[in-house]
């Protein structure tokens, strides 16, 4: 059902590393560094190691309706895990993600606490703010508000900590927010969104021509329930985050996947050298 679509929780995280320069480094360990933010590789990501910039970041992304086989569990011992996402696919698409300052959008007056937005796919924007405590998700809205059937606006009464600082193995958040007065694809919506977010492991992440170590694995289960007595929709996601570069790999399950260690990815996005 289109009007109950879950958006990607960490849509903005793909742009967090956009403030880093000088990423043209062949595969090596240690990973790329930059003049503006040099990773110290301590396995803990502080707020000042997550950069928000209104510049573009580039990724390789699987095409729509194409399933990738992935090993999100990785190999090796916990704390020294390795995840290999370095395979190159002929049908990968180049994707550019650019955060935009909140202000001129039609929905901006409804998100006074927001600071910037990122395209969340499906014609939606995700609205965020960032402080020393967290990267906060305030909700989603459609790019346009006309025609009426295209209008979506979901504003949370309290924000969701998409990434809580400092990001470290063992961080756990379980947040449920009520949705009232929302419009999704032109239809009124009442329900709840629940986010279960766990920083579950650390290790080396390989993408084409680059490796990041130690990257942190963030597992997210996003659940939307329509009230009263409506349908439930679940999306599982894996995010691998590295100092200064933000999200270097993002993987989404199919809708209503039940296996926490799912191996079929409905979407896979990976950091790409410019």
Q: In this predicted model, what pLDDT tens digit does every residue of 13-28 receive, in sequence order? A: 333 333 333 333 333 4
Which pTM does this prediction carry? 0.86
Distances (CA, A) of 270 to 9, 152, 189, 220, 249: 16, 28, 33, 17, 4
Tokens 């492991």 locate to 201
Q: Which residue did the predictor score with more confidence, 31 or 167?
A: 167
The total of structural domains in the chain comes to 1
The pLDDT value recorded for residue 8 is: 38
Reduce the DSSP state of residue 14 to 3 states and report it: helix
Interstrand relation of 81-84 and 187-207 (parallel, antiparallel or unpaired): parallel
pLDDT category at 1 given cuts 50, 70, 90 is: very low
What was the pLDDT predicted at 11?
43
Q: Which residue has the higher pLDDT, 2 or 264?
A: 264
Rounded Cα distance between 104 and 32, Å, is 35
Distance CA 128, CA 133 (A): 13
Query: Is the pLDDT reported for residue 167 higher than 70?
Result: yes
Average pLDDT, the chain: 87
Q: How far is CA 89 from CA 67, 74, 184, in A?
A: 12, 20, 35
Interatomic CA distance for residues 10 and 16, integer angstroms: 10
List C-alpha distances in Å: 40 to 132, 210, 243, 248.
19, 17, 8, 17
> Average pLDDT, stretch 217-245?
94
Please give the pLDDT value at position 53: 64
Question: What residues have CB less than 8 Å from 129, skipping those under 6 apart?
Answer: 113, 114, 115, 116, 135, 136, 138, 159
Which pLDDT value is given to residue 55? 63
pLDDT of res. 262: 96
Q: Are 45 and 246 in contact (CB under 8 A)?
A: no
Residue range of the domain that includes 260: 2-271
Mean pLDDT over 192-215 rounds to 96
Q: What average pLDDT score do residues 131-151 get?
A: 97
> Is 3 a residue whose pLDDT tops 50?
no
> Mean pLDDT over residues 113-129, rounded?
93
Largest CA distance in the chain: 53
Say if residue 199 is preceded by a cis peptide, omega within 30 of 0.
no
Residue 105 has pLDDT above 80, yes or no: yes
238 pLDDT exceeds 60? yes
What pLDDT is attached to residue 38?
Answer: 87
Give the residue carrying structure tokens 């990423």.
23
């Amino acid at each position: 059902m289109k009007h109950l679509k879950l958006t990607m929780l960490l849509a903005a995280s793909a742009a967090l590393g956009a403030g880093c320069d000088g990423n043209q480094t062949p595969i090596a360990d240690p990973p790329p560094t930059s003049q503006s933010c040099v990773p110290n590789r301590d396995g803990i990501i502080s707020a000042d190691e997550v950069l928000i910039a209104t510049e573009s970041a580039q990724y390789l992304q699987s095409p729509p309706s194409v399933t990738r086989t992935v090993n999100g569990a990785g190999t090796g011992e916990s704390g020294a895990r390795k995840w290999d996402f370095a395979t190159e696919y002929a049908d990968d698409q180049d994707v550019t993600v650019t955060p935009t300052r909140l202000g001129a959008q039609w929905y901006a007056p409804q998100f006074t606490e927001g600071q910037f937005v990122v395209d969340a796919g499906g014609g939606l924007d995700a609205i965020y703010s960032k402080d020393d405590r967290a990267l906060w998700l305030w909700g989603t809205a459609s790019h346009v508000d006309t025609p009426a059937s295209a209008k979506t606006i979901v504003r949370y009464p309290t924000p969701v900590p998409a990434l809580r600082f400092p990001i470290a193995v063992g961080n756990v958040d379980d947040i449920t927010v009520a949705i009232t007065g929302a419009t999704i694809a032109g239809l009124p919506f009442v329900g709840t969104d629940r986010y279960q977010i766990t920083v579950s492991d650390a290790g080396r992440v390989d993408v084409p021509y680059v490796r990041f170590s130690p990257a942190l694995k963030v597992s997210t289960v996003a659940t939307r329930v329509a009230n009263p007595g409506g349908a439930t929709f679940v999306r599982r996601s894996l995010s691998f985050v590295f100092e200064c570069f933000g999200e270097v790999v993002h993987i989404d399950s199919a809708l209503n996947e039940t296996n926490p260690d799912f191996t079929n990815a409905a979407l896979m996005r990976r950091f790409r050298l410019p």
